Amino acid sequence: MTIGLGLGISRFPFDKARDYFQWVDYCEDKAVDSIWQTDRLVSKEAMLECMSVMAALAGRTEKIRFGMNVASIALRDPLLMAKQCATVDFLSDGRILPAFGLGSAFSQDYSATGIPTRRRGKKADEALALLARLWTEDSVTFDGEFFQYEGACISPKPANQHIPLWIGGSSEIAMKRTAKYGTGWLGGIDTPEQAKVVVAGIKAALKETGRKIDADHYGASFLFRFGGPEDEIVAATAKGFATRIKESPDRYLVAGDAGDIIKRIQEFLDAGCEKFVMLPMANGTADVMAQTRRFVEEVQPEF
C-alpha cells in the first residue's frame, strides 16, 4: 500500500503572497507528498487560479508534486489545457498531477458567466479524450460535438510519459467517466461512506471498459483542524456545509487531536482510498503554519 498525504488550500488563507511560498518551502522540506489548489474562477473570496499556481510551484520547488483539485475541464479549452499541463510537467521534470472534473456544484463559474451546463458532461468527455491524445500522439484529428481538430499536436510533450489523468466527481456518470478516461480518481469533500460507494462503482465500471486503475490511484479530500468543533473557523465551516448539503457536516470534516485525524484517514483507507488532499481549516499565516507543523509532526509519521 502506497499512501500519500498531500496538503491543499481552497481560499487563500495567508497574510501575504510571500507567506504562501514560505508554506510551500516548508512542505517540500518536510517531504509532504503533494500540494493542491482548489479550482474556482468566480469567487468573492480570494482564490488562486489553479494553473497559474501549478506554474509557480514548478519554478519554486524541486521535489514535491502538485495538482489541481480539480480543474473544471468543461470551462476550459482542451488544447490550451493540454499545452499548459505539458509545459508545467516538462519544466518540473514530471511532477504535475492533473485532475479534472465538471466543477463544484457550489461555485458560480457557470451561472455568473452564462455558460450553459446542458451537455457539459459530453463536452468534458471530449476534452478528456483530447488531453490524453495530445499528451501522447504526434497528430490528433478529432470530430466531436464540441471540438474539431485536424492534425493538432503539442511540443514539448510531458516529461512524464505516463502523466496521470485524475478524474473527480461522485455521481454514477463520474464513475463511468473515470473508468473510461481516468488513470485515477480524486474525490471532493466527501465522507468515507460516499468514497467507498464511488470506489466500488469505478471498479465495477472498469470491468465494462476493460481498463485498469492502480489500487493506490483512488484519492479523498477532507477538511481538518487540530482543535475542536467550538473553534471559530470550524463552527463557521460546519455551518456553511450544513446550509449547503442539508445534513450534518460531521463526516465531511474533522476537528480534534492527531488521533481523530488519523482515525478519519483510516476510515478512508478502509473505503479504498490511498491518496489524500487534506485541507487545513485555518485563518492567517501563523495559524496555517501551526496546523501544518502539527500535521507533519503528529500525523505524517504514522503513514
- For the stretch 132-175, pLDDT in tens is 999 999 999 999 999 999 999 999 999 999 999 999 999 999 99
- For residue 116, pLDDT beyond 80: no
Nearest to 52 by CA among 93, 23, 29, 20: 20
The C-alpha cell that represents 78 in the structure block: 482542451
Q: How do residues 39-63 score in pLDDT, each as one tens digit?
A: 998 999 999 999 999 999 999 999 9
* Contact status, residue 165 vs residue 98, Cβ threshold 8 Å: yes
Alpha-carbon distance of 86 to 37, in angstroms, equals: 18
Query: Does 106 score more than 70 pLDDT?
Result: no
What is the average pLDDT across 254-274? 98
- Binned at pLDDT 50, 70 and 90, residue 1 comes out as low
| Spatial separation of the C-alpha atoms in residues 75 and 102, rounded to whole Å | 8
Q: How many independent structural domains does the chain possess?
A: 1
Q: For every residue of 116-127, which 3-state class applies, written as one string?
A: CCCCHHHHHHHH
Model confidence at 104, pLDDT cuts 50, 70, 90, reads low
pLDDT by residue (tens digit) across 217-246?
999 999 999 999 999 999 999 998 888 888
Summary mean pLDDT of the chain:
95
Q: What is the pLDDT of residue 250?
A: 93
Do residues 291 and 226 touch, judged by C-beta distance below 8 A?
A: yes
Q: What is the CATH number of the domain that holds 117?
A: 3.20.20.30
Classified as helix, coil or strand, 188 is strand
Nearest CA among 28, 98, 96, 86 for reference residue 60 = 28
Q: For residue 158, what are the domain limits?
A: 4-302
How far from 85 is each of 17, 89, 99, 142, 187, CA to CA, in Å? 23, 6, 10, 20, 20
